[in-house]
Amino acid sequence: MSMLRGFLILVLFFLLGEALRLVFQVPVSGGVLGMILMTFTLMLRGRVSDALALSSQALISILVLLIMPGVVGVFFMASRFSDQWLAMAAALLLGTFLSVLSTLLLMKGVMRLSAREQGHD
């Protein structure tokens, strides 16, 4: 029952993100908006419920299957992007670099904060 409650929370945030996308005509996916809203909600609460953690861990274990439809879609639409190969390559390289850089900076900040908290204990 706990896992079902966690999935319900995830679906509700997804639907809320989709609703915001449709109402405000934002060119961002509803799933991304929902996850941003969930992140802010969890930051305000200061903790993650057991139900949400349990269902999220179950989804992470099958993440490859969740990504697969998008990859297959790009494969079948590759002919549409054949004249855009330079822009696609640049976007992939820049996106990869920025994601690695942001992960590095975030991890350094978390480690610095953790070290500061351990110093006060």
Predicted confidence (pLDDT) per residue in 33-81, tens digit: 999 999 999 999 989 999 999 999 998 888 888 778 777 777 787 787 7
Count of CB atoms situated within 10 Å of the CB of 66: 10
Which amino acid makes up residue 98? L
Domain boundaries, the chain: 1-61
pTM equals: 0.64
Task: Using a pLDDT cut of 90, give the percent of the chain over it.
Answer: 57
pLDDT of residue 38: 95
Are 19 and 37 spatial neighbours (Cβ–Cβ below 8 Å)?
A: no
Q: Do 70 and 31 form a contact (C-beta atoms < 8 A)?
A: no
Angle between helices 63-76 and 50-61 (to 10 degrees): 50
